[in-house]
C-alpha cells in the first residue's frame, strides 16, 4: 500500500484513511469514549468535503486540555484489537489534521502534527491489517480507485463509502 499511497492525491490520501477507518470504527463502538472518535471522524469528513473546519478545531479531537482527546482516551483501552482500531482512527485523524494545516498554509504546527509522515500511514496499515481481513486483490482495487481520484476532485463521503463497499463485496 505504501508505495502507491504516495501517488494518490492528498485529498485522496485523507479520504482513503477515513474510508478504512469507517470499516473498523464499529469495533470500538461500545467503548466508553467512542463518541469523541465518531465526532472526530465526522468532522474530518466534513473537512475533506468542504474545507470549512479549521485545523485547530480538528486538533481538539486529537488532544485537548479536557483530556478527552483520542490520543488520551485510547491509552485506557485494554483490548488489543480495539486498541489497534483506536490507533487507526487516531492516525486517520492526525493525517487529516496535517492536511488541514497545510491547506491553511500554517507554518507552525503542533509537535504531534509535525511528526506525521509516511510512518504514520505504515502504522495505520499494519494495525488495519491486524484487525481487518482485506484480501490483497481488494486492497489493490481500492488503491487503484483512489489513484483515479483527481487532486481537485470534490470528495463525497457517501459516494466514496458506497463505491468502496462495492469493492469490499
**Mean pLDDT calculated for residue range 143-168:** 87
117: left (phi over 0), alpha (psi -120 to 50) or beta: beta
- Long-range contacts of the stretch 118-124 (C-beta < 8 A, 24+): 118/2, 118/5, 118/6, 120/91, 120/94, 120/95, 121/1, 121/2, 121/5, 121/13, 121/17, 121/91, 121/95, 122/2, 123/87, 123/91, 124/17, 124/20, 124/87, 124/88, 124/91, 124/92, 124/95
Over the stretch 57-81, which tens digit does the pLDDT of each residue have?
999 999 999 989 999 999 999 999 9
114: left (phi over 0), alpha (psi -120 to 50) or beta: alpha
Q: How many CB atoms lie within 10 A of CB 57?
A: 13
Lowest mean pLDDT among 48-57, 66-75, 109-118, 134-143: 134-143
Q: How many CB atoms lie within 10 A of CB 3?
A: 8
More confident residue, 139 or 156: 156
**Is residue 148 predicted with pLDDT exceeding 90?**
no
The answer, as to whether pTM is greater than 0.85, is: yes
Amino acid at each position: 500500500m505504501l508505495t502507491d499511497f504516495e501517488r494518490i492525491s492528498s485529498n485522496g490520501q485523507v479520504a482513503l484513511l477515513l474510508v478504512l477507518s469507517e470499516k473498523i470504527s464499529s469495533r470500538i463502538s461500545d467503548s466508553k469514549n467512542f463518541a469523541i472518535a465518531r465526532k472526530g471522524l465526522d468532522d474530518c469528513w466534513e473537512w475533506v468535503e468542504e474545507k470549512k473546519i479549521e485545523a485547530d478545531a480538528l486538533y481538539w479531537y486529537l488532544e485537548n486540555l479536557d483530556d478527552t482527546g483520542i490520543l488520551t482516551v485510547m491509552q485506557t483501552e485494554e483490548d488489543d484489537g480495539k486498541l489497534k482500531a483506536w490507533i487507526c482512527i487516531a492516525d486517520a485523524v492526525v493525517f487529516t489534521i496535517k492536511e488541514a494545516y497545510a491547506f491553511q498554509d500554517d507554518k507552525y504546527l503542533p509537535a504531534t502534527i509535525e511528526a506525521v509522515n509516511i510512518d504514520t500511514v505504515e502504522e495505520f496499515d499494519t494495525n488495519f491489517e491486524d484487525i481487518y481481513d482485506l484480501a490483497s486483490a481488494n486492497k489493490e482495487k481500492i488503491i487503484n480507485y483512489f489513484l483515479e481520484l483527481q487532486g481537485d476532485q470534490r470528495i463525497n463521503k457517501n459516494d466514496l463509502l458506497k463505491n468502496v463497499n462495492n469493492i469490499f463485496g
